[in-house]
Amino acid sequence: METGIVFNVQKCSIHDGPGIRTLVFFKGCPLKCLWCANPESQDTLPEVASSYIKCIGCGACFTVCPQGCITPEGGRYIIDYDLCDHCGQCADVCYAESKQMMGREMTSDEVVDIIRKDIAYYRRSGGGVTFSGGEPLSRPGFLQECARKCKELGISVAVETCGYGNYSAFKAALDYIDLVLYDLKHADEQAHLRLTGMSNRTVFENLENINRHGVDIHVRIPVIPGCNDDMENLKALAEIVCGLEHVKEVELLAYHALGVNKYEMLGRVYEMGGTKPPSTETMSAYADELNKILILAGKICRYDNNLYTTNARVENPKPITHC
């Protein structure tokens, strides 16, 4: 049986696909987008996060830490992430849940057992499960097994992806997927490399491959001020999707900074500090311009000015949550 590292299960979502959905977040992503709202999704292995505002100063974590990387400071216990090996012993003894493990290994059966509990809601609302991340395409065997078992239960399956993965490895999983939510960041390869750490060649190749496979695709473009919000780039992305039969809609998603606190929890620096979200008027203007291109190809562009990643709306998410 396939296993994978899951860092969150979020139930009762009304985003990231139609109807009421359960979102399963796989850990590990090949991209490192500067604006990423889920930094806990990037590394492939479980890691310790620390919410210092919740620390009650009991010192239990300090006592058990085998690396000696936790020290008292101002009544709280601080992790030196340069020394931490993410063994998780501090999280095991943290009564206040100030220290938490982000991610745990789960079997496909464990994941599906959680998903299936809300099958009545999916059927009444036209919802289902959305596998997100991180990057689910980079865990093709685990994704395929989870998706297959959901389809056997009659549960609709969607995947949220940055498009970076080995097509020959994840191709078989597409037979069990109804909808792909496909993020496009930048049309220019060098700009994409600078903003995400990876080339966009594989992203566009996989977009074409998934389209040929016949899966419905919903393209989403995060609008990040100063990074990819110039009209030349947005129009170039619109032109790319015009020739794709199974792309019916493009959605513009406004930048937000709701995940900033997570960087502090993981001992990292958020590089987009001070960036302001685009206004509703700006997002509407972008959508209007793209519709001049897309409508001629039988497609439509809309915008969401409130969110980019569903999980980022939770200010301090607890791993593997339920509603």
- pLDDT tens digits, one per residue of 179-212: 999 999 999 999 999 999 999 999 999 999 999 9
Smallest Cα–Cα separation from 203: which of 33, 62, 319, 66?
33
Q: Are residues 182 and 244 in the same domain?
A: yes
Mean pLDDT of 85-104: 96
Helix (H) or strand (E) holding 243: none
Mean pLDDT of 81-104: 96
Tell whether the model's pLDDT for residue 311 goes beyond 60.
no
Instruction: Tell me what pLDDT residue 108 has.
Output: 98
Q: Determine the angle formed by the axes of helices 231-242 and 280-294, rounding to 10 degrees.
A: 40
Least confident range from 105-109, 209-213, 288-292, 319-323: namely 319-323
Is 318 a member of any domain? no
Q: Are residues 181 and 301 in the same domain?
A: yes
pTM for this structure?
Answer: 0.91
Instruction: Tell me what pLDDT residue 258 has.
Output: 86
Q: Please state, in angstroms and rounded to a whole number, the distance separating the CA atoms of residues 17 and 128.
A: 8
Is 222 a member of any domain? yes
Is 139 a member of any domain? yes
Q: Are residues 148 and 82 in the same domain?
A: no
Q: Are residues 93 and 144 in the same domain?
A: no
Is 319 a member of any domain? no
Share of the chain above pLDDT 70, in %: 94
- 225: DSSP letter: T
| pLDDT tier, 316 (very low <50, low <70, confident <90, very high otherwise) | very low
Q: Are residues 117 and 204 in the same domain?
A: yes
Show the DSSP H helices in the chain as ranges: 60-64, 89-93, 108-116, 119-125, 140-152, 167-170, 189-196, 201-213, 231-242, 260-265, 280-294
Mean pLDDT of 26-52: 96
Q: Are residues 79 and 158 in the same domain?
A: no
Tell whether the model's pLDDT for residue 321 goes beyond 90.
no
Tell which phi-psi region holds residue 103, choosing left (phi > 0), alpha (psi between -120 and 50) or beta: left
Tell whether the model's pLDDT for residue 317 goes beyond 90.
no
Instruction: Tell me what pLDDT residue 320 has.
Output: 47
Instruction: Tell me what pLDDT residue 319 has.
Output: 45
The total domain count for the chain is 2
- Cα 4 vs. chain centroid, distance in angstroms? 15
How does pLDDT run across 95-118, given as a tens digit for each residue?
Answer: 999 999 999 999 999 999 999 999
Q: Are residues 196 and 279 in the same domain?
A: yes
Least confident range from 109-123, 142-156, 275-289, 304-318: namely 304-318
Q: Are residues 95 and 108 in the same domain?
A: no
Mean pLDDT of 121-144: 97
CATH number for 82: 3.30.70.20
CATH number for 185: 3.20.20.70
Mean pLDDT of 4-26: 95
Average per-residue pLDDT in the chain? 93
Burial of 135 (0-12, 13-18, 19+ CB in 10 A): buried
Smallest Cα–Cα separation from 278: which of 315, 298, 253?
253
Q: Please state, in angstroms and rounded to a whole number, the distance separating the CA atoms of residues 98 and 55.
A: 5
Domain boundary among 102, 123, 138: 102
| pLDDT tier, 15 (very low <50, low <70, confident <90, very high otherwise) | confident
Cβ atoms < 10 Å from Cβ of 149: 19
Q: Are residues 124 and 266 in the same domain?
A: yes
Domain boundary among 102, 124, 144: 102
Residues sharing a CB contact under 8 Å with residue 101, sequence separation 6 or more, in sequence order: 46, 47, 48, 49, 86, 88, 91, 319
Tell whether the model's pLDDT for residue 38 goes beyond 90.
yes
Q: Please state, in angstroms and rounded to a whole number, the distance separating the CA atoms of residues 119 and 297.
A: 36
Which 3-state string (H, E, C) describes 64-100? HCCCCCEEEECCEEEECCCCCCCCCHHHHHCCCCCEE
Least confident range from 158-172, 213-227, 309-323: namely 309-323
Instruction: Tell me what pLDDT residue 305 has.
Output: 57
Is 321 a member of any domain? no
Instruction: Tell me what pLDDT residue 91 has.
Output: 97
Tell whether the model's pLDDT for residue 315 goes beyond 70.
no
Q: Are residues 155 and 179 in the same domain?
A: yes
Least confident range from 64-78, 222-236, 306-320: namely 306-320
Smallest Cα–Cα separation from 301: which of 249, 253, 255?
249
The tokens 């998903």 sit on which residue? 115
Least confident range from 115-124, 254-263, 312-321: namely 312-321
Instruction: Tell me what pLDDT residue 114 has.
Output: 97
Q: Please state, in angstroms and rounded to a whole number, the distance separating the CA atoms of residues 181 and 236.
A: 19
Helix (H, G, I), strand (E, B) or coil at 287: helix
First to last CA, the chain: 27
Domain that holds residue 53: 47-102
Is 30 a member of any domain? yes
Q: Please state, in angstroms and rounded to a whole number, the distance separating the CA atoms of residues 291 and 275.
A: 26
Least confident range from 101-105, 130-134, 306-310: namely 306-310
Q: Are residues 92 and 208 in the same domain?
A: no
Q: Are residues 161 and 210 in the same domain?
A: yes
Domain boundary among 102, 117, 133: 102
- Cα 133 vs. chain centroid, distance in angstroms? 4
